Structure formats: C-alpha cells, structure tokens
C-alpha cells in the first residue's frame, strides 16, 4: 500500500480498551509520519484523544448515531485508508459503506467488508467466560488443573500492535500514553482545593462498570484506606462516574468524613479525570478504565484482580514493576464473568494488609 494522505482510525468503545490501543496508534504515526490521522470514537471518549501527539483530529460519534449516519461522516472525510481496531461487524461496515479504498482489520466473520483482512495473531489468548459447572469442577479438582499463566506477548496491546504491523508498523510494544497538560493539572488542583496540600494525595476508585466480579469489597477498600492514611497522613480522593456515587458515598463514610477524604465521584469530565490521575501519587483501584488511564499518565496503580487477568489486560506495559497487580491463587480465576456464581473467593482472598503493603511500596518509588 502506498503511503496514504488521510487515515481514519476506527477506535474502540470502552475507556480501558482505548488506552490499550495507544501503543498501536503511536506505532501507526511512526509508520506514516506525514499522514493526517483522524480518530473516530464514541463521543464519551473524545477527551481521551484530545492533545494526543499521534492524532491530528478527533471525530466523535454519539451513541445513537446509526451506521449509515456514521458512514456518511466518514465518506465526507475522504479518507485513503481506515484502520479498524474493534472486531465488530458494524465497525467494518461503516467504512465499507463509506467506500474507503483501503480497509484494514481483523478478518473474523467480516473479511468481505475489508480490503486487507488480517488473520488472528498466533499466540493470542481468548478471554473465554467459564461456565458455573466448569467453575465447580475446577474448585473440586483444586490446583491440579490450574492453567499456566499467559506470557507477556498475550497482552491485549499486542493484538492492536499486530494489526498495525500488517501495514509495516513496528510491533514492538511501547507504554500506553495519554497526554495531560500542566494547565489541566493545576486546574483540578485548584478546583478540588489541593493547591496548598502539604500531604501526599492518593486516590481510590471502588467501582467497575463491567460487574461486581471485578469489585474488591468496599469494606476491604475502607480498611486498607484507613491504615494507609494512618501510616502516610495522605489525603484520599474517591473517584468514579455518576453510577459509582452510592459506592463512593459508602466508602467515604467508612473511611471517615473529614478534610482528608474528598469524594469527587461523578464530578469530573474525562479530561479532568485524566488530570486528577496525573496529580495523585498512587491509585488504588479495581480493574477498570481509570486503572489504565492512571498508568498511561505515569501514575502507579495497585489493583486487586478477581475475575479478570492482569497478564491479558493489566495496566501499562506487561511486567512494569511500578504497579502492583494482586490476585489470589484460586483455581477458578480468571473466569471473566460479571458476577461470581460461588463465594467470591478470588477477591476475598486478597487481604487488606496485602494491599496496604503494596500501596506503601509503590508510593515510595520514584515520582
């Protein structure tokens, strides 16, 4: 393929997944340094790509936009090529309807919509949900049937890198990156009354949109947060979206309603969330979108993992020692389910003191 002048990148739909695509976007920019790169993404993720050095323009799409309306906007952009990061038929259909001359994406069941269908990557690990019956069998058989951990090359960032590699881009991993301006950090520092903070500022993120199987118990969050605050004297910021407000309020009460605990769940835009995560010293979080954002802006994270796999979707580069990715050794994890069908042993097995020790360790590392 000759060097295209205008490239559409069809972005993914979820915050954490979008952060994991940034290494591929960076490599695509390196491959085509003179191209005009446009990121088409859900409107809710527009702020993630604002100021990103690899992206020239963002094309936000509202949630209720039809495939035909989206295709019309793509066609108006007169793109030479489209790199389609999601695996859905719709994401490929949009560029097919728009008659983009070169359409690159994973083949799956939609190869006919693509001019350059890419076969599945060798070594890719499928995140298959376990059935309740399978979980019971694993529990009964115990450690004898534990599967080997996936290698670093199985991480999701390699899926996106392999895709752009089909266009000649470098497939060696780079750390996910989100750009945050100093002015944005100072604005949230002022907004939330942290200009004169003499204490370290840490953050808690108790929610997880995927489901309760990814949520460490609130009582454990609270116990760990109280001990960390007693040891460090930190100010806690409690983060989350609008849907997380009840959990955030419960956690605020459990940790202590005073000037050292500030509940800002539901009060930040995506850009402000990025700036807050850049500001804090460490984030204690479930496996969710803000976990990936924090790592991408350079903030260490501590994450109790339950139903999901840090080897496949952990924050930052695989093996980054700045982060602490915690899990208990139960035979049924990872199950990739939204709700635990048994007794939540994967999360209950991660003790608050283990998390306290991890937060103190990563917080004492280089700033």
In 10 A of CB 133, how many CB atoms? 9
The reply to whether 236 and 320 lie within a common domain is: yes
pLDDT of 345: 93
pLDDT at 197: 72
Q: What is the pLDDT of residue 51?
A: 94
CA-CA-CA-CA torsion for 187, 263, 18, 10, nearest 10 degrees? -70
User: Are both 60 and 187 inside the same structural domain?
Assistant: no
Q: Are residues 262 and 359 in the same domain?
A: yes
| Tokens representing residue 35 in the block | 């191209």
30 vs 8: CA distance, rounded Å: 15
Tens digit of each residue's pLDDT, the chain (367 residues): 678 999 999 999 999 999 999 999 999 999 999 999 999 999 999 999 999 999 999 999 999 999 999 999 999 999 999 999 999 999 999 999 999 999 999 999 999 999 999 999 887 888 889 998 888 888 888 655 567 788 888 999 999 999 999 999 999 999 999 999 999 999 999 999 998 778 999 999 998 888 888 999 999 999 999 999 999 999 999 999 999 999 999 999 999 877 799 999 999 999 999 999 999 999 999 999 999 999 999 999 999 999 999 999 999 998 888 999 999 889 899 999 999 999 999 999 999 999 999 999 999 887 6
Range(s) of the domain holding residue 97:
6-122+155-165
What strand order describes the sheet that includes 102-106?
57-61, 36-42, 6-10, 81-84, 102-106, 116-118
Q: Is 147 a member of any domain?
A: no
Interval 210-247: pLDDT, tens: 888 899 999 999 999 999 999 999 999 999 999 999 99
Regarding whether 337 and 189 lie in a shared domain, the answer is yes
Q: What is the pLDDT of residue 336?
A: 93
Same domain, residue pair 113 and 187? no
- Residues 106 and 210 placed together within one structural domain of the fold: no
Residue 29 · residue 177 · CB < 8 Å:
no
Number of structural domains the chain divides into? 2
For position 320, which CATH number holds? 3.40.50.2000
The answer to whether position 1 is within a domain reads no
Q: Quote the distance between the C-alpha of residue 183 and its chain's center.
A: 24
Residue 128: what pLDDT? 86
The label of the residue with tokens 């609008």 reads 242
């Amino acid at each position: 393929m000759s060097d295209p002048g205008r490239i559409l990148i069809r972005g993914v739909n979820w915050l954490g997944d979008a952060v994991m695509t940034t290494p591929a976007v960076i490599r695509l920019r390196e491959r085509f340094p003179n191209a005009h790169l446009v990121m088409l993404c859900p409107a809710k993720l527009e702020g993630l790509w604002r100021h990103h050095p690899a992206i020239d323009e963002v094309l936000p799409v509202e949630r209720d936009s039809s495939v035909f309306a989206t295709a019309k906007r793509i066609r108006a952009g007169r793109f030479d090529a489209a790199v389609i990061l999601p695996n859905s038929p719709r994401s490929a259909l949009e560029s097919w309807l728009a008659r983009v001359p070169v359409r690159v994406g994973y083949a799956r069941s939609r190869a006919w919509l693509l001019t350059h269908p890419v076969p599945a990557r060798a070594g890719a690990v499928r995140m298959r949900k376990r059935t309740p019956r399978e979980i019971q069998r694993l529990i009964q058989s115990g450690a004898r049937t534990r599967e080997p951990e996936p290698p670093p090359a199985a991480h999701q960032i390699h899926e996106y890198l392999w895709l752009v590699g089909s266009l000649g881009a470098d497939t060696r991993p780079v750390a996910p990156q989100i750009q945050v301006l100093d002015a944005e950090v100072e604005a949230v520092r002022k907004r939330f009354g942290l200009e004169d903070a003499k204490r370290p500022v840490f953050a808690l993120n108790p929610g997880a949109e995927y489901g309760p199987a990814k949520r460490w118990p609130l009582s454990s969050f609270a116990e760990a947060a109280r001990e960390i605050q007693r040891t460090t004297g930190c100010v806690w910021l409690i983060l989350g979206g609008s849907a997380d407000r009840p959990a955030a309020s419960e956690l605020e009460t459990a940790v202590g309603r005073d000037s050292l605990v500030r509940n800002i769940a539901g009060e930040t835009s995506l850009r402000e969330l990025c700036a807050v995560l850049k500001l804090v010293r460490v984030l204690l979080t479930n496996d969710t979108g803000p976990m990936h954002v924090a790592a991408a802006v350079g903030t260490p994270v501590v994450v109790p993992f339950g139903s999901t796999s840090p080897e496949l979707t952990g924050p930052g580069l695989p093996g980054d020692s700045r982060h602490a990715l915690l899990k208990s050794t139960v035979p049924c994890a990872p199950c990739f389910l939204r709700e635990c069908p048994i007794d939540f042993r994967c999360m209950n097995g991660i003790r608050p003191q283990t998390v306290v020790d991890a937060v103190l360790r990563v917080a004492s590392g280089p700033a």
